[in-house]
Structure 1
Amino acid sequence: MYAEERRAEILRRARSGGRVDVVGLAETLSVTGETIRRDLTVLERAGVVRRVHGGAIPVERLGFEPALSARNSVMTAEKERIAKAALAELPDEGSVIIDAGSTSERLAEALPVDRELTVVVNSPPLAATLAARPNLTVIMLGGRVRRRTLATVDDGSLHMLEHLYADVAFMGTNGVSLERGFTTPDPAEGAMKRAMIGAARRSVILADHTKVGIDYLARFADLADIDTLITDDALDQELADGFEQAGIRMVLA
């Protein structure tokens, strides 16, 4: 098992069990305690766990929301595969909404250069990057910029979305479960995501498997609101079947 795979497994165990301990992880993963401690240090620096005596706790249990820069450094290979799979959902021409987030950012960077598209974004850095592409027309949703996610929220953004109707909305999520649907820690960002979904004919969620089974404060979509969920192939097949039975088309990248 490579280091990134091991750290992803540690994070999965922390999220499913509420905490992990060094001794138990070392035995289960057949590595030394020192290796586990180094892994936990890497995960803490990435902002996804908080070290405690003898182990670690996932930040969701502490009410924290990892910054975008931290999320960009974990599950990188999986996010790249998800973004590439999402290219198949693009219209031949027309308009798309791309939500702020570490996985959707990779989709934006991979947009084909030979396709004329109008791209609606709520991320100032992403808007600046895409505006340089001659085949893209970029619409930036104004509003307050959340420092943690660099996403625009509040009345300015919501008002603009009332007058738009795109072909596809590509959305990120902090958590998704069969019981609670799609959730995010911040109510203002939840309202923004809900409005983006409402402003598109189809909605596609981009989320690596570590987001599944996690619930946050603000629900922005029920399962019935989403057409497709693109995740990585580490998702448990039983969970994938559950989402399929709920009416969501599943793509495992």
Structure 2
Amino acid sequence: MSLVQRYGEVPVAELSKLLHVSEVTIRSDLKALEQSGQVRRTRGGVRLPLGNQGETPLEEAGRQHAHAKRRIGQAAAALVQDRETVFLDVGSTTTEVARHLSPTLRGVTVVTAGINIALELERLPNLRVIVTGGTLRPLQHSLVSPYALEVLRHIHADRLFLGCNGVDAIHGVTNANHEEAEVKRCMVAHAAQVIVVADHSKLGEVSRAHLTPLSRVSALITDRHGDGLPPALGQVLRDVQTV
């Protein structure tokens, strides 16, 4: 439990090595811990159970750096072209992307795990909107595994607009929630282009769940603030658009 609390999520194989016992023993103990509600099993590992405690509601997050997120959303939405299939991730910045998609777009399919994003897109009758399904995370209005992953595995997108909690030159793109991270990683795997939309407060930050290395990121759209982009990020990212 100490290791899980320290790292958030730990593979079974790693626990076996650290505690010098067999994986069979580890799995037996994890089963007992899960039954008591202390942990949640994942594929090949274990993590702390995720609830809504301590999470910032999506509406409150949207008020933080609101002007920056609006400009980022406008710039990102302008990239979408007719007849594209687009993954639109959950979050306050990606919600701004949805709000700024052009009503003149034709033949575009938007796939999202965000219920609020799907509702935003109702105003665009020429867009086809696919909602992944899954288990609802109420404060974030997002849908997570298991069903979200099953839908995404059957779709190939031209581009993904990816939200996050951190963009770091070494640790890549990270997110605070492990359940949402599963869905985001699946989107990354099935998108031709990955475009990260993140305001300046996320730059240089590292959060709990890894999403993708920066080598997989086609572009970063962020806002101008203070000293600008951290030099280390500028050296690694191929395309940075500041708005």
Q: Hey, what's the Cα distance between the residues in 2 that align with 1:220 and 1:98? A: 15
Partner of 1:110: 100
1:153-211 Cα offsets, whole Å, 9 max, x none, are: 11201011111001110011011111211111111111111111112110111110011
1:129-172 Cα offsets, whole Å, 9 max, x none, are: 31342110000001011123111111201011111001110011
- The alignment's C-alpha RMSD in Å is 1.7
Q: Hey, what's the Cα distance between the residues in 2 that align with 1:114 and 1:132? A: 12
1:14-163 matches, cutoff 5 A: 64-116=54-106, 117-163=108-154
Cα pair 1:91 1:167 within 8 Å, conserved: no
Q: Among all aligned residue pairs of Structure 1 and Structure 2, give the percentage whose two residues are the same amino acid.
A: 32
Q: Hey, what's the Cα distance between the residues in 1 that align with 2:121 and 2:138? A: 20
| Residue 228 of structure 1 pairs with residue 224 of structure 2 | no
The one of 173, 176, 185 equivalent to 1:185 is 176
Q: Hey, what's the Cα distance between the residues in 2 that align with 1:177 and 1:171? A: 15
Q: Hey, what's the Cα distance between the residues in 2 that align with 1:191 and 1:132? A: 29
Distance 1:64 1:179, change over 3 A: farther
The one of 216, 238, 243 equivalent to 1:248 is 238
The one of 149, 171, 189 equivalent to 2:162 is 171
Cα pair 1:167 1:201 within 8 Å, conserved: yes
Q: Structure 2: where are the runs of 5+ without partners?
A: 1-52
The 3-state SS of whatever aligns with 2:63 is coil
Cα pair 1:168 1:201 within 8 Å, conserved: yes
Amino acid at match of 2:165: N
Partner of 1:208: 199
TM-score, normalised to structure 2, is 0.74
Per mean C-alpha deviation after superposition, the further-off stretch among 196-205 and 230-239 is 230-239
Q: Hey, what's the Cα distance between the residues in 2 that align with 1:124 and 1:134? A: 17
The 3-state SS of whatever aligns with 1:85 is helix
Structure 1 consecutive aligned stretches of length 4 or more whose deviation exceeds 3 Å: 235-238
Higher helix share: 1
Distance 1:235 1:189, change over 3 A: farther
TM-score, normalised to structure 1, is 0.71
CA-CA distance at 1:235 after TM superposition? 5.8
CA-CA distance at 1:216 after TM superposition? 1.3
Q: Hey, what's the Cα distance between the residues in 2 that align with 1:238 and 1:246? A: 11
Amino acid at match of 2:86: V
CA-CA distance at 1:124 after TM superposition? 1.4
Distance 1:238 1:99, change over 3 A: closer
Per mean C-alpha deviation after superposition, the further-off stretch among 243-252 and 169-178 is 243-252
